[in-house]
């Protein structure tokens, strides 16, 4: 659309499953009649002959010949709508029209404002009570969110976060954690076709103040604070960014159960290692919420058993290599690694970085390493350029040490660990204390 603004006529070609999405993006950019042509999904794995057939066939959305759409899109005269675009105000009211509880529940469900589980209706009284959980003014802007970088940012205030926290069943004392998570700017409801989710980890004194779970079932639905903070983060992400609606603002092909709620606390007192937030420059008595974008693959194991190195190598090889791992480890497993000489997370992470290897051919034969990382390699950006220079059969390291994270939590009923895809970006650890 920037090219159109600069005076260059364009046609954008998309696959047909994205028709609704790209049209709503065009509308939100004030250019609803931008010329678009569609071919069938997928493009990936199709041969040149199959793709040529797409070009020779009809546009699956309009039913007209695809190339006719393209050529007319560049050459057909503009009409009045094309010349002015579309300007309009969009606003969301503070309060909805009064209605019965049943009708309001229907309204929230029909408008995709829920995760399709029952919610607590955010009455004025409940929201006012939730706002008691922070000293910040209700109208203070917390931040902006969007479901993908193709879309526009929506802005939100402390009160809007409180509304969603009520819906999730959170308690007022949880609100500073929920505000910190959302202040990270990371949506928990990405619209990516990869069905991403976000894990969030809480460190510092706030864990104990809220009674967060870091024992048995730490990653499961066994603690009120964990469950409702994670749910509030997801519900708020849906509503504060302008939706997470399949086919429009959500395109994850399989979906992801971690999108219901995925928040837990690190078991700092029972971990043999430095807490995550201290590793990242915060003080031990700072309360910090950290977010990890990913949640796509999950590996699991026990140990360290005699063959732990093979198990770890296999797990890394089986992971998606565009997405570095966060390893969540029970304290028993962590202490086992200490017994093997890994007396810091950093030492174990360094071993992981050296041993997370696959052949260059396998690394690059992936839809998302091709799409996201290959161009960086071509442009000479390291470490991708080095991985691109490697021979196809050469084993290459697929994660840098600073990308791999380790968190200790769990009830010590077993020396278990799990490995999830999860990127911790700069600015992804936010002070909870700042939102008290």
Partner 1 sequence: MMDKLTVHDPRGYPPKVTGKRLAPRLEKLDGKVLFLVDCLFDNSEVFMNQLQRWFAQHLPTVRLKNIKPRESWVDDPDMRATIEKEGDAAILGVGL
Q: Which of residues 140-179 bind partner 1 (CB under 8 A)?
A: 145, 149-150, 152-157, 159-160, 163-164, 167
Please tell me whether residue 350 binds partner 1 under the rule CB under 8 A: no
Can you name the residues that pair with 325 across neighbouring β-strands? Answer: 421
User: What is the rounded distance in angstroms from the CA atom of residue 29 to the CA atom of residue 149?
Assistant: 13
Q: Which of residues 104-143 bind partner 1 (CB under 8 A)?
A: 104, 108, 113, 121-124, 127
User: What is the rounded distance in angstroms from the CA atom of residue 95 to the CA atom of residue 297?
Assistant: 40
DSSP state of 373: I
Question: Minimum Å distance from CB 308 to partner 1?
Answer: 34
User: What is the rounded distance in angstroms from the CA atom of residue 142 to the CA atom of residue 152?
Assistant: 17
Q: List the one residue from 20, 31, 224, 317 that touches partner 1 (CB under 8 A).
A: 31
Site string for partner 1, 361-380 (x = CB under 8 A): ------xx-xxx-xxx--x-
Q: What pairing do the DSSP bridges indicate for beta strands 405-408 and 325-329?
A: parallel
Question: Minimum Å distance from CB 322 to partner 1?
Answer: 11
Nearer to partner 1, 348 or 398 (CB): 398
DSSP state of 84: H
Asked whether the beta carbons of 300 and 325 are under 8 A apart, the reply is: no
Annotate 391-409 with DSSP letters as a single string: -TTSEEE-S-GGG-EEEE-
- With contacts defined by CB under 8 A, name the span among 40-48, 211-219, 273-281, 388-396 that binds partner 1: 40-48
Question: Minimum Å distance from CB 166 to partner 1?
Answer: 8
User: What is the rounded distance in angstroms from the CA atom of residue 370 to the CA atom of residue 28?
Assistant: 29
User: What is the rounded distance in angstroms from the CA atom of residue 422 to the CA atom of residue 435?
Assistant: 25
User: What is the rounded distance in angstroms from the CA atom of residue 269 to the CA atom of residue 326?
Assistant: 20
Nearer to partner 1, 130 or 356 (CB): 130
Please tell me whether residue 254 binds partner 1 under the rule CB under 8 A: no
Nearer to partner 1, 86 or 216 (CB): 86
Asked whether the beta carbons of 410 and 271 are under 8 A apart, the reply is: no
* Count of positions on this chain that bind partner 1 (CB under 8 A): 105
Please tell me whether residue 302 binds partner 1 under the rule CB under 8 A: no
Please tell me whether residue 74 binds partner 1 under the rule CB under 8 A: yes
Question: Minimum Å distance from CB 77 to partner 1?
Answer: 6
Question: Minimum Å distance from CB 154 to partner 1?
Answer: 4
């Amino acid at each position: 659309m920037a090219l159109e603004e600069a005076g260059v006529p364009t046609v954008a070609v998309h696959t047909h499953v994205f028709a609704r999405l790209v049209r709503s993006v065009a509308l939100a950019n004030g250019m609803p009649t931008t010329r678009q042509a569609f071919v069938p999904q997928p493009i990936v794995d199709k041969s040149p002959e199959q793709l040529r057939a797409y070009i020779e066939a009809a546009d699956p959305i309009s039913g007209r010949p695809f190339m006719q759409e393209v050529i007319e899109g560049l050459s057909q005269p503009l009409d009045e709508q094309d010349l002015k675009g579309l300007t309009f105000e969009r606003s969301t009211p503070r309060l909805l029209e009064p209605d019965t509880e049943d009708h309001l529940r229907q309204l929230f469900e029909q408008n995709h404002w829920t995760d399709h589980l029952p919610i607590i209706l955010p009455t004025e009284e409940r929201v006012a009570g939730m706002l008691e959980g922070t000293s910040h003014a209700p109208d203070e802007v917390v931040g902006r969110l969007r479901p993908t970088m193709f879309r526009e940012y929506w802005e939100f205030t402390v009160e809007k976060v409180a509304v969603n926290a009520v819906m999730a069943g959170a308690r007022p004392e949880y609100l500073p954690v929920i505000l910190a998570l959302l202040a990270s700017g990371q949506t928990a409801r990405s619209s990516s076709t990869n069905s991403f989710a976000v894990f969030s980890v809480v460190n510092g004194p706030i864990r104990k103040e809220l009674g967060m779970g870091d024992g048995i079932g730490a990653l499961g639905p066994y603690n009120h604070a964990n469950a409702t903070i994670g749910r509030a983060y997801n519900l708020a992400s849906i509503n504060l960014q302008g939706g997470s609606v399949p086919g429009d603002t959500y395109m994850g092909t399989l979906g992801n159960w971690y999108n219901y709620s995925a928040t837990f606390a690190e078991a700092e007192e029972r971990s043999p290692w430095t807490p995550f937030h201290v590793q990242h420059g915060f003080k031990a008595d700072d309360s910090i919420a950290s977010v990890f974008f990913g949640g796509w693959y999950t590996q699991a194991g026990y140990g360290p058993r005699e063959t732990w190195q093979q198990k770890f190598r296999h797990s890394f090889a089986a992971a998606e290599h565009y997405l570095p791992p966060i390893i969540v480890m029970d304290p028993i497993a962590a202490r086992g690694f200490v017994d093997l000489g890994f007396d810091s997370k950093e030492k174990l992470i360094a071993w992981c970085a050296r041993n997370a290897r696959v052949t260059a051919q396998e690394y690059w034969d992936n839809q998302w390493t091709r799409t996201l990382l290959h161009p960086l390699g071509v442009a000479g950006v390291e470490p991708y350029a080095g991985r691109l220079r490697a021979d196809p059969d050469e084993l290459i390291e697929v994660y840098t040490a600073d990308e791999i994270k380790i968190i200790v939590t769990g009830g010590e009923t077993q020396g278990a660990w799990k490995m999830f895809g999860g990127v911790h970006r700069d600015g992804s650890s936010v002070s909870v204390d700042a939102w008290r």
